[in-house]
A and B are shown apart, each in its own frame.
Chain A
Amino acid sequence: MGNEGVKSSRRKFLKSAATASGAILGYSLLKSSQYLVYAAEPEDPNLPWYGIVIDVEKCIGCGACAKACKNENDVPVEPFFFRTWVEQYTVKNDGSVEIQSPNGGIDGFTQTVPDEEIFKSFFVPKMCNHCAKSPCVQVCPVGATYDSPEGIVLVDEKYCIGCRYCVQACPYGCRFIHPVKKVASKCTLCYHRIKKGLAPACMETCPTGARMYGNLRDKNSEIVKFLKEHTTQVLRPNLNTGAKLYYNALSSEVR
């Protein structure tokens, strides 16, 4: 009888132990699977969580941003390496779309289509979207590209092996292999500037204030107010990259 009691309590114990360990195992599996999908985790709530707004309406295609970026970040001047660039879209009356970005827009734009054939035309500045679920961070095999605690996607130039997988994974074409440093390179939102309280070079030099960055966590920040008052859109929302670059007045032709 007593023996039976011991046995059943042992059974109970085993049962609960199995349940507990099963739960722990299940939880850790779930957690790790989430880790597999989302490279970034919500970070320290005391730190800013940066986002960017680009107002397409305001851009005049002067290319000051792209030029300043190259100056500030020692990007090779050849027209194959850009951390930011400007595109001109021209939708013609026949429905076809012409896109150009001569030298990333650094030298300005020349209108290529005569006025009478144009349905509409506009400039779109491009830069890293600093995605919260960045495909580039997800695929880096060694952890040489990562989300900073402030939500800025950075590259570790001393650790990058140059496999170029991140360049393939970025749907926005924002990465390149630095031809001199031989590592992946991209927009850092001028991390070295914002850490000193200065605006990124592209925003410092934009004459029309078409670009803005700020803390998405601060509900009173300019950027959050802007997002509240405007209808904004991210690029390639279908890819669920968690892009934190929001475009105002973005036209549907833009990829």
Chain B
Amino acid sequence: MKFYVPPQLKRLAIAFAVFIVLFLVLRKFLVPDSFGQYGHYRGDSLADNALPEIHYAGQQACLDCHQDIEDLKAKDVHARIHCETCHGPGQKHVLSGEASDILKPDSREFCGNCHGKNAAKKPGTIVQVQLSEHNTDKKCIECHNPHQPWEMKE
């Protein structure tokens, strides 16, 4: 006995088959090549994420030219602080060598970010200054050499 298949089912089967084939063909073209290379993501994205230019050159790049400053710093409490903590992103300066491409912050507020008095700073770990009371008419660096804070000027 021949198995009866209603005619509408045959039509629908064709319609669905066309739809599914279309979908699969489209999918073939749309999925990026490196997708699934390492996991459920575009493998090339790893390289994309490694691509951006650096802005901070890293301590070693500073030492290549400024070993003298490092030697000064080594004698005092700022020894372990990297140059770019205060001088900002240095890659541009490393590449150009121009003094104008590096920051030289000198405001009281800038020093205050670390040394301003705040109850959240553990006593004894860092020197804290009440900015509103301590030599308010002067910049910090008029007395303190930022590379050797306790080597007072004058």
Chains A, B in direct contact (C-beta < 8 Å): yes
* Docked-complex contact A205 and B56, CB < 8 angstroms: yes
CB distance from B69 to the nearest CB of A (A): 16
B149 at the interface (CB under 8 A from A): no
Most chain B beta-carbon neighbours within 10 Å: one of A58, A144, A146, A158: A146
How many residues does chain A have at the interface if contact means C-beta atoms less than 8 Å apart? 55
B37, chain A: closest CB distance, angstroms = 11
Q: How far is the CB of B111 from chain A (nearest CB, A)?
A: 10
Interface residues of B in 35-87 (CB under 8 A from A): 35, 38-42, 45-46, 48-56, 58-59, 80-82, 84-85
Q: B55–A108 contact, CB under 8 A?
A: no
9-residue interface stretch from B8-16, B116-124, B135-143: B116-124
- Residues of A close to B109: CB separation below 8 A: 107-108
Per DSSP, chain B at the interface is: loop
What residues of chain B lie closer than 8 Å to A110, measured between beta carbons? Answer: 116, 118
Partner of B82, one of A60, A89, A107, A204: A204
Stretch at the interface among A63-71, A220-228, A236-244: A63-71
- A191–B50 touching, CB < 8 Å: yes
Closest CB-CB distance, A178 to chain B, in whole Å? Answer: 13
Closest A residue, CB atoms, query B119? A121
The 5 closest A-B pairs by CB, nearest first: A108-B113, A146-B41, A156-B45, A121-B120, A143-B40
Additional A-B contacts beyond A74-B52, A207-B82 (12; CB < 8 A):
A68-B84, A108-B113, A110-B116, A123-B121, A143-B39, A154-B46, A156-B41, A157-B48, A191-B50, A192-B54, A193-B56, A193-B58
